[in-house]
Amino acid sequence: MTDDSNQDKDEMALFHAAMRDVAPLPNVDRVFHRDSHITPIPRKKSAQERTLTQDTLSDHISLEIAAGDEWSYARPGLSRQTLRRLRRGYWGIQDDLDLHGYTRDEARQELTVFLDESVQNKFRCVRIIHGKGLSSKNREPVLKTRIGNWLMQRPDVLAFCQARPEDGGGGAILILLKANA
């Protein structure tokens, strides 16, 4: 025999001697953790979220919209894909509110009640029809900019965008609400 074959036999003998007391692990498809399950602590709502009512929605307009522009908003941290899906109708419209003919104060109150009910009903996507403002002074959309600003103040609104033409176009807005667990 050659030296290589003797060396291989010696190495195998050493290996078998080292593995003599080793027992194979049981073949189980589960992992057992020593730590017990820690229950999550729910996040407390901020004071702003607790006290948000129709009276706290500000009329300060911080959202600038040029006439005819398609507009949208996504809460910081939300992916562009989510807004793109909203625009393309990924979520079906589950309810809508038509604000034609309402004053600013009436529209704010109706919007608040509508969104509260939508969240309570666990709706994800709703539509607000605000009109294009063609019959208003200077033919400018009065409610459109205010609604956008009001929606940005609501913690349950994740995103909104102008509706597709078949859903109302520049006279309507689609809103994506937080999913309730």
Return the structure tokens found at 181: 């667990």
Phi (first) and psi of residue 129, to 5 degrees: -100, 110
User: Average per-residue pLDDT in the chain?
Assistant: 79
Q: Which residues contact 103 (CB under 8 A, 6 or more apart)?
A: none
Q: How confident is the model at residue 2 (pLDDT cuts 50, 70, 90)?
A: low
Dist CA 67 CA 3 (whole Å): 91
Please say if the pLDDT value at position 144 is more than 50.
yes
Q: pTM for the whole thing?
A: 0.62
Please say if the pLDDT value at position 125 is more than 60.
yes
Q: How confident is the model at residue 65 (pLDDT cuts 50, 70, 90)?
A: very low
* Domains, the chain, ordered by start: 1-63+73-181 (3.30.1370.110)
Give me the torsion for CA of 98, 104, 107, 112, rounded to 10°.
140
Phi (first) and psi of residue 143, to 5 degrees: -75, -30
pLDDT at residue 118, as a whole number: 94
Dist CA 178 CA 97 (whole Å): 18
